[in-house]
Each structure stands twice: as structure tokens, then as C-alpha cells.
Structure 1
């Protein structure tokens, strides 16, 4: 007999994997809040999972480990996408500022400084 906490942990993990497949930027804030909520639920279930395990639970646990690896990869990819979007936004901000004030880095004293090394 498999414990309910193990079954619930698997269900939440599968929900996380499914949620991480969505890539719409408009829904990103809602997705992040769902991810946080599900990760908190998983932590609660994980605390209630204690030894000793039956043979049936051990085989069930092996399947959970493969799901966990998939989840870790998807979380890393999702975080990388967020980091890339943040860096893109920062680059756009700098380029827009440079476009709005193109003479901000021009030296006004009439001298020329070669910045090439």
C-alpha cells in the first residue's frame, strides 16, 4: 500500500511539470505564483514522507526520482528564460536611453580620446 503523501507528492510534481511547459510571457506572473504554491505543497508532503518504506513504495519512489529529474531540468530552463528576458529588457533600456541622448558620452572640451585598446 502506497502512502497518500507519496501519491500527493507525485500529483503535485506532475502539475509542476505541466505548468512549466507554458511559455506565455503575459501569464508569467500567474505561473510563477502557481509554481511557488505547488513547491510549498511539495515541501509539506516531503516532510511527511519518512522511512521505513515497503517494496511497493520503493518502486514507486524510483518513478518519483525520474519525475524529479525532469522537474529540475524544466525549472532550470524556466529560470534561464526569465534571466534572459531580464537581461534583454536591461539592454533595451540602455539602447533607448542612448537613442534619446546620443551625445551623452561626447567629451565637451574639444579633445578626442581614442577608447580602442
Structure 2
């Protein structure tokens, strides 16, 4: 199988995986990462001249890549939101466990007029 056809197959698998993903879980992230790595390893072996069939496959891959990029950005946003939520929960838990930790003592004075 030519490198373009292999890349097309891997891109199709990645496209289908991201389209069918309803939520973020470890399995989907690991599978997407492995497909991206396979495709990255394959890209240097793709060199011109291309046949007409390979050009059509390339055009189809470009369309899929646009969708893949949008889905990956959405996944990144979801992951970032989860991380921010965990950080916020951690800070809230620390404040609950030690409520006087974050008090500022600057600006205090003692009145010595007895």
C-alpha cells in the first residue's frame, strides 16, 4: 500500500474516532494520540509525484483535517475546563481545611494609648 493510502486510512480512522466521541475519556485520548503518532511517522515518506488517485485522497484528507482540528480544539477546551475545575476544587478544599492561612497581616497596627 502506498504511503498516501496508509495516511488516508489513518486519517479516516482518526476522523471517525473524533466524530463518534461523545465525551472525553482516556481510551479516546490514547487512541487519538496513537493515530496521530502513526500519521506523523508516515508523513516524511509521502513525496511527489502523485497520481490522480493520490491527489483525490489528499484533497479528502484535507477536508477531514479541518474537522479533526476543530474536534481537537474542542477536546483541548474540555480538558482545560476539567483542569481548571480541579484546581479550583483544590484551592477551595485548602481554604476549608485551613481558613486562616490566607489572612493578610500587613496593615495592622496596635494602639498604644492606654
* 1:1-117 equivalences in 2 (<5 Å): 4-20=2-18, 21-25=20-24, 28-107=25-104, 111=108
Question: Structure 1 residue 95: deviation in Å?
Answer: 0.8
The Cα RMSD (Å) is 2.4
Give the match for residue 115 of structure 1.
none
Question: Structure 1 residue 108: deviation in Å?
Answer: 6.4
Give the Cα separation in 1 of the matches to 2:22 and 2:34: 18
The answer to whether the Cα contact below 8 Å between 2:5 and 2:54 also exists between their aligned partners in 1 is no
Question: Structure 1 residue 17: deviation in Å?
Answer: 2.3
Give the Cα separation in 2 of the matches to 1:42 and 1:105: 49
TM-score (norm: length of structure 2): 0.77
CA-to-partner distance for each residue in 1:43-102, whole Å, 9 max, x for gaps? Answer: 222222110012232222111111111111111111121111111100110011111222
Q: Which structure has the greater CA radius of gyration?
A: 2
Unaligned stretches of 5+ residues in structure 1: 113-117
Unaligned stretches of 5+ residues in structure 2: 110-114
Aligned residues: 108
TM-score (norm: length of structure 1): 0.75
